[in-house]
Amino acid sequence: MKTLLSVKNLTLSTTLDEKLLVDDVNFEILEGESVGIVGESGSGKTLTALSILGLLPKGVSQNSGAVTFQGRLISQADKAALQEVRGNRISMIYQDPMTSLNPMMKIGKQIQEAARAHGANDDESVVLKALADVGIPSPETCFSSYPHEFSGGMRQRAMIAMSLLLQPNLLIADEPTTALDVTIQRQILNLVNEQRQRNSMSLLWISHDLSVVAELVDKVIVMYAGRVAEVGTVKEIFERPKHPYTAGLIGSLVKRKHQEKMISIPGNPPKPWTVSTQCGFADRCVNVTQKCRDSKPELVQEGDRAYACFHPMNEALL
């Protein structure tokens, strides 16, 4: 399968005082593949996702790194190319549908705008069909309504409709279900899965919840303190986690037969810039040695697997 998106050496820091936020992140997404990025808040997962489309907030800048899509480099330098890709070949949905939609514009108009921005068919009928496709009960009403007149779940559906309108090759989803009720979460998850399969679209799903990601994606990228900690298929990650952090995450999810109680990882994740010369997980790691504090572990590739650790876990957990 061909590579659809490739992110190489992505490094982000704060604009003003150059504090490191994301450190040398590398990953690939193949055509039709669905990938999940999992990490706690502050791990840099959202910023990584935003940098793909050049949507970094004001205080964050990209120090280095290259994002390649369909073989072409996309970056802030080539505004025209970037604009062509946005909403068209790569679409993104966000965590809070209330703030992510223009409160003073009717939903229908906002969706039409997505089509119009790329010279596609912006007929009302097209939009209505898109709204119906995502399971909105009365598309006409939704079309002429404002975002605040709808519930969170409906808004998220509308955003999904908007992002899928032009049948992008890749959908980036930044924790779109975190702000929703559990029941609605499930509906949205199913919806995205359905859409993905229908259009054989690639998916990049960002979440802090490993269990949610697990049922949605093929490949998991675990991020910690601004760096990639581990990469692998869902099965591999769950059965044979290499990075102690991943092991801890899984341990906290499931109570294994031989455990007495759920494991939680003591302590808090550090700010990326405070651990730029060492392993970020050192202070909370069961396998930690002096080496972990003196130098930074590089990402080791083993076929499709990768992990950045000097002392990876060796026993299988299952």
Residues that bind other proteins (CB under 8 A): 16, 53, 55, 57-58, 83-88, 91-92, 94, 96, 99-105, 113-114, 117-118, 146, 148-149, 159, 162
Structure tokens, 113: 């705008």
Supply the minimum distance, in Å, between the C-beta of residue 206 and other proteins: 14
Supply the minimum distance, in Å, between the C-beta of residue 221 and other proteins: 21
Task: Indicate the DSSP class of residue 152.
Answer: H
For other proteins, the closer CB: 94 or 205: 94
Supply the minimum distance, in Å, between the C-beta of residue 102 and other proteins: 5
Beta strand 219-224 with 34-38 is: parallel
Residue in this structure with the two tokens 């039709």, named with its chain if needed = 32
Structure tokens, 132: 């119906």
Number of alpha carbons in the 13 Å side-chain half-sphere of residue 268 = 5
Supply the minimum distance, in Å, between the C-beta of residue 239 and other proteins: 36
Which residues have C-beta within 8 Å of that of residue 151, sequence separation ≥ 6?
none
For other proteins, the closer CB: 99 or 252: 99
Supply the minimum distance, in Å, between the C-beta of residue 100 and other proteins: 5
Task: Indicate the DSSP class of residue 98.
Answer: T
For other proteins, the closer CB: 59 or 267: 59
- Distance of CA 82 to CAs 68, 72, 79, 195, 258, Å? 11, 10, 5, 24, 51
Q: Is the dihedral of CA 57, 35, 179, 87 positive or negative?
A: positive
For other proteins, the closer CB: 83 or 138: 83
For other proteins, the closer CB: 55 or 300: 55
